[in-house]
């Protein structure tokens, strides 16, 4: 499980430093011990300061989960940066974010930190606590209300770790004690009767049921019998002894344990807490306060008592994770060591993918940071070498029949892919290689960025992770699977399309791993495209020359105006000039114009008619000094919805419902390899994660969909 340890120590990253600063801090040694204990417990652990950056930090470390996946959990050590209710800050943020955490809720911390509210709750529940009053300022009137008698205890109303704690015996000492607290904390003072006797505390662990740890006595060998801040920090100059189990009779021990549990429940505590008592001369217990965040310092009473029941430090820390997990998630439907888990390939695969989310992103990062533009043979060669190694590790063999080692490579499982599923992924990033630099991988809470991350890398990662999940679930040997890799997406599959068509004829179904749309939508229909190169050549002419023969640029511009009329949105026909370049000498007008024209379409017959109209537009028979050369550079067929796409989408819909994954279908504007697949073979496109800003420096994929698509692909393959 992913566990984020949140604490407050050095950071003051807030918008304004305003209000009462926090004086409580965990030592770095304790934080490190907790981290190591959790890591030894098999968890993935990271530490964070609990400041204003915590939301983005947690989004990055533990992104939103899919249904059935156990979310990460926060081990909360945060006392807050500032303010009167600082204990509540991180729990409140975590509840807003929907992240489970160890420890009590914001409302419990708010009550426990306010000693007056705590005593009011205790009194309402009939639980014993010393008589008290509250003094707002040092200018109070004597005698005190409630017939309080000296000696008395003064302490801040809402501070912890015994800040400002003092015994007073006279009116003068009382007024001075209240003044010190008021000056230091700008806080009302809690004044309560001092119980002259023994100090005992009881740690609580768990929820249903909650377990009371053995009572711990704080033995005072010298000085006043109160546990001061200086005592807790070791600066008082005296030595205090902790004794556990406390040397009290069984009846008293059971009584304070019972009262501690009742107090725990009265305040609505979760997972752990510590209740402090004083015992009078007759062993009658009085509840002093509740520590809703019992210290996990190695020398603290809570850790000391836990050790006495066999919970050493590592066991105690991991026990806290266990009780919090039980509270949030209930008894696990399938225990991690249960044989039934390992008998269900789906659960094995689900567990593998959800527990290795970070490794999936790391693999994606590795592929993204390999530049392989369409015209970069070195980068493409690097990609193929790494893929060969990965497929070898996955026990897949290269298929020479559908591999030309230039633009197409095919691998298959032991059973081959005839009558099975063929997955198709490009490895080139469409780019002419002129200028610019590769865009490195970067991670944001919701989006993952990088060169070709949507057009290529995410698809590769999903395929490899799905196959790996099948291997781990021991289902790979019986699956008919193939992977077709091609390197000329940037050239419209000019060289690889024929080989893909042949390979697709052998398969039953083809899955195109290019990006889909948000909300889990795949592409069941997309447009085709044609790309033309047009070269217009004209006479050499000086600028300003008077002639009836147009120059090449003027002639092209006149004709290109007619191109707009070829587009018909209603018929899903679009024609556009993508690029224009000209050549000229010195001050002469352009004598040659090169243009690229792009045609996208859904209906092939309409596309053919539009092509004929395009040729007519550039007819140059009306002038002998203009020559036009038209060449078709690319032609990519469309994919139309049909029974073969419907079969696959219905199957995907059922799987998505079973695993509570988002799913839908959408029509795509961009051509894909799906148009090459013959009519006899089922096909679905857009199986990769949803993308944004394709083919730009800001190209990215939706982070959550990376896991969702890998899982959906895995479950689909398991069902075939």
Distance CA 523, CA 67 (A): 23
Same domain, 631 and 651: no
Structure letter (DSSP) for residue 445:
S
Can you give 136-150 as a three-state secondary structure string? Answer: CCCCCCCCCHHHCCC
Residue 32 domain-assigned? yes
Same domain, 579 and 692: no
User: Domain range holding 34?
Assistant: 2-102
- Last-in-domain residue among 605, 635, 665: 635
CB 74 within 8 Å of CB 98: no
pLDDT at site 586: 87
pLDDT at site 334: 34
Same domain, 120 and 252: yes
pLDDT band at 336 (very low <50, low <70, confident <90, very high): very low
Residue 154 domain-assigned? no
Distance CA 146, CA 132 (A): 7
Task: Of 392-401, 538-547, 672-681, give the lowest mean pLDDT range.
Answer: 538-547
pTM of the model: 0.77
Burial of 38 (0-12, 13-18, 19+ CB in 10 A): buried
Q: What is the mean pLDDT of residues 381-405?
A: 96
Same domain, 548 and 579: yes
Q: What is the mean pLDDT of residues 286-298?
A: 95
Same domain, 392 and 304: no
Residue 676 domain-assigned? yes
Same domain, 372 and 283: no
CB 640 within 8 Å of CB 605: no
Predicted confidence (pLDDT) at residue 340 exceeds the cutoff of 50: no
Kindly compute the dihedral angle of the four CA atoms of residues 188, 193, 197, 200, in this order, to the nearest 10 degrees: -40
For residue 298, give the CATH number of its domain: 3.30.470.20
For residue 620, give the CATH number of its domain: 3.30.70.360
pLDDT band at 14 (very low <50, low <70, confident <90, very high): confident
- Last-in-domain residue among 102, 121, 143: 102
pLDDT at site 83: 84
Q: Where are the alpha helices (H) located in 493-642, listed in sequence order?
A: 497-506, 552-560, 604-617
Query: Does the CA dihedral 376-378-379-383 come out positive or negative?
Result: positive
200 SS3 class: strand
Distance CA 328, CA 325 (A): 5
Predicted confidence (pLDDT) at residue 455 exceeds the cutoff of 80: yes
Same domain, 558 and 650: no
Residue 238 domain-assigned? yes
Residue 664 domain-assigned? yes
Burial of 345 (0-12, 13-18, 19+ CB in 10 A): middle
Kindly compute the dihedral angle of the four CA atoms of residues 641, 644, 646, 651, in this order, to the nearest 10 degrees: -150
More confident residue, 16 or 401: 401
Q: What is the mean pLDDT of residues 119-132?
A: 96
Q: Which residues contact 346 (CB under 8 A, 6 or more apart)?
A: 473, 715, 718
Predicted confidence (pLDDT) at residue 481 exceeds the cutoff of 90: yes
Sequential DSSP letters for 229-262: HHHHHT-SSS-EEEESS-SS-HHHHHHHHHHHHH
**pLDDT digits 0-9 by tens, 161-176:** 556 788 899 989 999 9
pLDDT band at 235 (very low <50, low <70, confident <90, very high): low
Residue 29 domain-assigned? yes
Q: Which percentage of the chain shows pLDDT scores above 70? A: 95
CB 703 within 8 Å of CB 446: yes
Predicted confidence (pLDDT) at residue 658 exceeds the cutoff of 70: yes
pLDDT at site 654: 96
Residue 183 domain-assigned? no
Same domain, 553 and 541: yes
Task: Of 181-185, 256-260, 393-397, 430-434, give the lowest mean pLDDT range.
Answer: 430-434
pLDDT at site 341: 47
Predicted confidence (pLDDT) at residue 342 exceeds the cutoff of 80: no
- Last-in-domain residue among 635, 663, 682: 635
Q: What is the mean pLDDT of residues 677-688?
A: 96
Which secondary structure element, helix H or strand E, spans residue 323, and what is its range?
helix 313-329
pLDDT at site 690: 96
Same domain, 610 and 663: no
Same domain, 380 and 484: yes
Task: Of 61-75, 256-270, 287-301, 612-626, give the lowest mean pLDDT range.
Answer: 61-75
Predicted confidence (pLDDT) at residue 638 exceeds the cutoff of 50: yes
pLDDT at site 338: 43
Predicted confidence (pLDDT) at residue 321 exceeds the cutoff of 90: yes
Domain count, the chain: 4
Residue that is written with structure tokens 């002998």 in the block: 624
Q: Where are the alpha helices (H) located in 14-160, listed in sequence order?
A: 28-40, 54-61, 89-97, 106-113, 115-124
Count CA within 13 A, CB hemisphere, residue 595: 22
Predicted confidence (pLDDT) at residue 160 exceeds the cutoff of 70: no
Task: Of 110-119, 187-196, 223-232, 511-520, give the lowest mean pLDDT range.
Answer: 223-232
**pLDDT digits 0-9 by tens, 570-581:** 999 999 999 999
Q: What is the mean pLDDT of residues 42-48?
A: 92
User: Which pair of structure tokens corresponds to residue 1?
Assistant: 């499980």
Same domain, 12 and 86: yes
For residue 380, give the CATH number of its domain: 3.40.630.10
Same domain, 243 and 380: no
Predicted confidence (pLDDT) at residue 491 exceeds the cutoff of 80: yes
pLDDT at site 632: 95
Predicted confidence (pLDDT) at residue 562 exceeds the cutoff of 70: yes
675 SS3 class: helix
Predicted confidence (pLDDT) at residue 333 exceeds the cutoff of 50: no
Average pLDDT score over the chain: 91
Residue 182 domain-assigned? no
pLDDT at site 231: 61
pLDDT at site 60: 86
């Amino acid at each position: 499980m992913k566990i984020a340890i949140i604490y407050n120590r050095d950071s003051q990253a807030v918008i304004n430093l305003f209000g009462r600063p926090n004086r409580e801090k965990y030592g770095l040694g304790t934080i490190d011990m907790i981290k190591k204990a959790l890591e030894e417990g098999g968890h993935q652990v990271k530490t964070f300061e609990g400041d204003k950056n915590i939301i983005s930090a947690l989004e990055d470390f533990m992104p939103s989960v899919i249904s059935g996946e156990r979310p990460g959990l926060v081990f909360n050590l945060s006392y807050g940066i500032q303010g009167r209710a600082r204990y509540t800050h991180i729990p409140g943020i975590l509840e807003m974010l929907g992240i489970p955490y160890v420890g009590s809720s914001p409302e419990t911390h708010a009550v426990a930190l306010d000693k007056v509210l705590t005593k009011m709750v205790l009194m309402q529940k009939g639980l014993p606590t010393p008589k008290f009053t509250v003094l707002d300022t040092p200018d109070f009137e004597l005698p005190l209300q409630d017939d309080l008698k000296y000696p008395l205890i003064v302490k801040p109303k809402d501070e912890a770790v015994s800040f400002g704690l003092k015994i007073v015996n006279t009116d003068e000492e009382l007024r001075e004690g209240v003044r010190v607290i008021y000056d230091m904390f700008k806080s009302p003072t809690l004044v309560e009767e001092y119980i002259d006797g023994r100090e005992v505390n009881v740690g609580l662990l768990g929820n249903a049921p909650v377990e009371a740890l053995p009572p711990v006595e704080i033995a005072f060998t010298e000085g006043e019998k109160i546990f001061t801040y200086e005592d807790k920090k070791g600066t008082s100059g005296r030595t205090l002894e902790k004794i556990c189990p406390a040397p009290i009779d069984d009846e008293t021990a059971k009584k304070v344990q019972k009262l501690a549990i009742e107090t725990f429940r009265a305040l609505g505590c979760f997972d752990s807490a510590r209740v402090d008592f004083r015992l009078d001369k007759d062993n009658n217990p009085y509840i002093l306060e509740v520590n809703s965040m019992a210290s996990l310092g190695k020398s603290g009473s809570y850790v000391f008592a836990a050790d006495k029941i066999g919970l050493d430090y590592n066991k105690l820390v991991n026990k806290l994770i266990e009780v919090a997990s039980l509270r949030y998630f209930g008894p696990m439907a399938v225990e991690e060591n249960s044989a039934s888990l390992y008998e269900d390939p789906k659960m094995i695969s689900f567990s593998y993918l959800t527990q290795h989310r970070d490794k999936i992103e790391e693999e994606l990062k590795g592929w993204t940071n390999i530049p392989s533009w369409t015209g970069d043979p070195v980068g493409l060669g690097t990609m193929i070498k790494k893929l060969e190694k990965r497929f070898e590790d996955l026990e897949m063999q290269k298929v020479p029949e559908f591999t030309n080692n230039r633009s197409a490579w095919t691998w298959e499982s032991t059973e081959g892919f005839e009558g099975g599923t063929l997955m198709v992924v490009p490895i080139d990033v469409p780019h002419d290689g002129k200028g610019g630099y590769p865009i490195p991988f970067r991670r944001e809470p919701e989006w993952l960025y990088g060169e070709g991350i949507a057009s290529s890398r995410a698809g590769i990662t999903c395929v490899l992770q799905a196959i790996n999940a099948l291997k781990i679930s021991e289902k790979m040997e019986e699956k008919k699977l193939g992977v077709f890799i091609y390197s000329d997406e940037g050239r419209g599959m000019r060289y690889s399309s024929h080989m893909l068509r042949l390979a697709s004829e052998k398969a039953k179904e083809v899955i195109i791993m290019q990006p889909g749309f948000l909300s889990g939508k795949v592409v069941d229909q997309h447009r085709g495209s044609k790309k033309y190169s047009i070269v217009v050549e004209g006479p050499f002419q000086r600028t300003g020359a008077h002639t009836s023969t147009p120059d090449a640029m003027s002639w092209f511009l006149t004709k290109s105006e007619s191109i707009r009329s070829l587009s018909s949105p209603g018929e899903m026909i679009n024609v556009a000039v993508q690029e224009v370049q000209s050549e000229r000498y010195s001050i002469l007008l352009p004598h040659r114009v090169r243009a690229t024209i792009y045609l996208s379409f859904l209906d092939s017959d309409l596309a053919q008619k539009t092509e004929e109209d395009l040729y007519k537009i550039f007819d140059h028979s009306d002038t002998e000094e203009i020559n036009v050369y038209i060449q078709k550079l690319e032609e990519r067929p469309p994919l139309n919805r049909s029974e073969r796409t419907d079969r696959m989408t219905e199957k995907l819909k059922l799987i998505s419902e079973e695993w509570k994954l988002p799913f839908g279908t959408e029509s795509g504007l961009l051509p894909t390899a799906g148009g090459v697949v013959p009519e006899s073979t089922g096909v679905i496109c857009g199986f990769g994660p949803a993308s944004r800003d394709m083919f730009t420096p800001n190209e990215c994929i939706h982070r959550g969909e990376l896991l969702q698509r890998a899982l959906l692909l895995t479950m689909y393959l398991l069902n075939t």
